[in-house]
Structure 1
């Protein structure tokens, strides 16, 4: 599983989509931001673009944001979802969090609050994906070319080599991407 920094913004308001796209592109340049006005296309875009984070509006004409939130959780459970909506209602926020939203923020919030929320989510996504890379490398017994000169029949040593190889790949990927 690779570390992606793809963000999908789903909203039916074209002007808001353009604004948030410009803000994210300027302040979070390591992320690639995509926009979607048609909520029915969202699940396909998430799969096609390897989306890591979704900024989701709740009030949309074709497919309601609440239903789309449930659909994303069912079809792409690894994707983090931040609900960004005009509704600044505690009950709605609690309901969204119960349905699996990572965070909830009102459109009237400051740009700094939105960016902080997005950065925090991207950091968590990066940590989760690195964890999975290390875990998969450890349990899949990847090739250990760096340790070829060392001979051992001890399974514990082999586990240490596998863990070190997984960590080195993870660190290399992390520093190359930044």
Structure 2
């Protein structure tokens, strides 16, 4: 739900045929593409996919300073009544040190609705943190996420991403 994209849209950078949680030999370079092309007719959403990615990165980078805002940036699909008031979700699937991670968040103009970070260190999903609402008490942390997580969460408002504040 971002601008001209009403429905879920994915940009997949793993090679065709790869559908496992991690590569058998652990070599992500062998199963991912380093370059991608977006092809389609005029006005089919190619630029909007890139805009959605850039928007999500800007929310991660900037939301720590949004506590005093009345509303936060939200760019929903506006051509039907339901989407205009619906949430927008953004998710990134990436590797750090050869370990797959999934980070995402969901928002609306009033604030952050949910946020999550998990990894797959041994081939199974391990939740590092999960947020289910705007308050610090709505965030649960795994023992595998090191740091002053509870203290950091108390510095947040419903308009900040935990990842941005941390």
TM-score of the superposed pair, with normalisation by structure 1: 0.23
Higher strand share: 2
Structure exhibiting the larger radius of gyration computed from Cα positions? 1
Quick one: higher RCO (CA 8 Å, sep 6+), 1 or 2?
A: 2
TM-score under structure 2 normalisation? 0.24
- Structure with bigger helix share is 1
